[in-house]
Every structure is written in C-alpha cells, then in structure tokens.
C-alpha cells in the first residue's frame, strides 16, 4: 500500500497542515499589507521563496512573521524574498496619475 493509500499517512498530513496553516496565513497577510501584494502574488512569493531556498513553506512563513516582531529574517530568505516580490506598480511608488 502506497503512502497516498495509507489512511494514517493522510491523517498525519492533514494534522500537519492544520498546525502550520495559521502561520502561513499570517505571512500571506504580512506580504499583502507590507508589500501591497495581491493575494495571488503573496502566495506566489511564499512558494517561490520556499522553493528557491529549499525551506519548508511553514518555516518561511514563521521566519517572516517573526521578523515583524523584531527577529531578523535570515539573509537567504531575505534575498529570495526581494527577488520574488513583484515590481511595484506606478500607483504604489507614488508616480501614478
């Protein structure tokens, strides 16, 4: 029986998802508020940073949320975050009409 067919493995995956989802949602909101990202852009940033740094999504989210409370964001995550953020639109830079 493969892992996908194992109800115990599926239950464990659901449990982990329920535990990590709140911090991922918080990080999603932080990106939307601080960088004025759309919800889709914020999600894509989290996923991209996770993939490019080989860091679990919930660990990226935790570090980002903790950075709003005075902790330093690790340099690898910080650089990946800067690279993943969408370019600001003219209205976000104050240069709009």
Angstrom distance (rounded) from CA 44 to CA 50? 10
pLDDT band at residue 88, thresholds of 50, 70 and 90? confident
pLDDT at 90: 63
In this prediction, residues 67-71 reach a mean pLDDT of: 94
Distance of CA 75 to the CA centre of its chain: 15
Does position 93 have pLDDT exceeding 60, yes or no?
no
Look up tokens 């949602």; give the residue: 25
Structural domain boundaries of the chain?
Answer: 3-84
User: What three-state secondary structure class fits 55?
Assistant: coil
pLDDT at 97: 44
Residues 6 or more apart from 70 whose CB is under 8 A from it? none
Could you report the per-residue pLDDT of 21-48, keeping only the tens digit for each?
999 999 999 999 999 999 999 999 999 9
Does position 15 have pLDDT exceeding 80, yes or no?
yes
**68 closest CA partner among 30, 21, 37, 22:** 30
Angstrom distance (rounded) from CA 89 to CA 30? 18
């Amino acid at each position: 029986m493969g892992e996908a067919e194992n109800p115990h493995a599926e239950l464990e995956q659901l449990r982990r998802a329920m535990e990590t989802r709140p911090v991922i949602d918080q990080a999603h909101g932080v990106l939307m508020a601080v960088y004025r990202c759309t919800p889709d852009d914020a999600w894509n940033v989290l996923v991209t940073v996770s993939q490019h740094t080989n860091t679990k999504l919930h660990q990226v989210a935790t570090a980002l949320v903790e950075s709003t409370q005075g902790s330093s964001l690790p340099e690898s995550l910080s650089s990946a975050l800067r690279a993943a953020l969408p370019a600001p639109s003219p209205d976000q830079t104050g240069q709009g009409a």
